[in-house]
Structure 1
Amino acid sequence: MSDLVLTEKRGLTAGPATIGATIQRQRSNFLRLVTQLDPAGWSAKTRCTAWSVHDVVRHVVNVAELHVALLSGSPDVGRFLRHGPFHPATTPALWLADSPAQSPEETVQTLTDLVARERELFQARAVGPEGPLMPAPSGRQLHWSTLSLHMLWDAWIHERDVALALGLEPESRAEDFPLVTMYGLLIAGGVGVLVGNPPAATLALRGATESRYEIGVAEDDVFVAAGVDGDPQGHGAADEVLDSLTGREPELARALTAQEPVLASLGVLRQVM
């Protein structure tokens, strides 16, 4: 198997520090994007059709607040759990409704402060004890650092929601963020397991170059291995596949050329987003 493997229950073989550094890199890119916006940009619509750019950034703030609460063990996490099980179509809007009204400038400052706190807490957590598995929005149990990758994946997708809607090229490109691709496949595989359709495939995904990712399950622990050998059962552009898995265009069968069993397993996530 590859030297770089991500699993639900054991995290990343390279260790959590790699995850923390990648989160901070994407946060910096996202902050650069939103700090350059004018009032028209903040009010513009995004790929999340019900949300403006400001709404999307406020959601990214919400998820960063949740991440900080989880990393610190703060009771503030209860604010995000009080609505019951996470439902992608409704829960984020409830979080926004619970959040105080802010100007764009206040939202940027809040996110900037959260990113600094997030970095400190992640670094401290990375040298601490492993701790128990944690429940994820997907319904699966995750290693704490794998759950942190969920926050990165969410922010990466929303960076695209903002940038592409404004006619800009996202700074956080898929080829520069392989951990986002790995987590996107991991969560899709985990949701497939929940409905009795576990993943078992190798995909060749294009960015600047082609990379192959193996997705499978071992002892109820979904894994994604990067840079594997072997014949792929699916081909596609990494950014299009990641977009499609989250319910965005294009349809999965257009983004990923693969046999029906592969599409059926990975496509469960798209159906619930």
Structure 2
Amino acid sequence: MLKLIATDLDGTLLNERGNVSEENAEAIRKALSQGIQVIVATGRSYDAANQPLQEVGLTLPIISLNGAKTYSQDQTVLRDKPMQLSVCKRIQSICEKEDMYFEVFTNKGIYSISRDDFKQVIIDIMITAHPNISREELHVAVDQRFQDEKVQFTNDFDHLFNDLDLSVYKILAFSLSDEVLQRVRNQFEEDSNVKITSSGSINLEFNDPQAQKGIALSLFAKSMSIDMKDVMALGDNYNDLSMLTLAGRGVAMGNADEAIKKQCDFTTKVNNEHGVAHAIEEMLKEVNV
């Protein structure tokens, strides 16, 4: 009996404009009305995750930053898994050596080294994903990214990482070179103090090994006396795999990589065709038979 739905945001619950469609919102409301719990599990920070939900009137518990922080529906922090600062310093050193742009997600906000670099990365991402996008749409998307994540800028990460009151939850690094991405991955292959995933073809996401969506979701389900066999998880990328494979019903989006689809029980429609709503409706049909 399905009791809990966990959904990723980008590429999953959100369409290409970063919105929750009314079809997806209505399907979630329908599941909630039937006593099925719903939680969001995302790489985003809490504020950036909550904003598109609030726009359609949804207030849900949120697993943020790939599982580093779990929030209840009323914004209480239920779980907190920061990274070791010594690991953060090593990531910084390697990313700088490889000339990678990176962002640091902390308890004191999100830090980046250069606004211009940041904008160029987002522009490159948008052009890669949507080659026909207009210049106006491009600038709106870039401005929205700043607004959503409230990025601060610093030229001194050494000082930042020496702050004993700092908690780092995720480091997100970008490169347009597959060789660079793989080279950086390889340098952390033997490091048991960091978990590397990705939420796109040009990024790496660094977290504490206990900060994974699957682990956070399992603990959340356990706190509600829900067995993982009674959980449906939906996602599209590699930072979703830990929850997709642990859930009793793992659902890959139609826009997910083939490697993701192969490890899931089901594949739904793409995110721009309300794939989450379709998966929920299909599941409810089975539950209500």
Provide TM-score, normalisation by structure 1: 0.34
Provide TM-score, normalisation by structure 2: 0.33
Higher strand proportion (structure 1 or 2):
2
Higher helix proportion (structure 1 or 2):
1
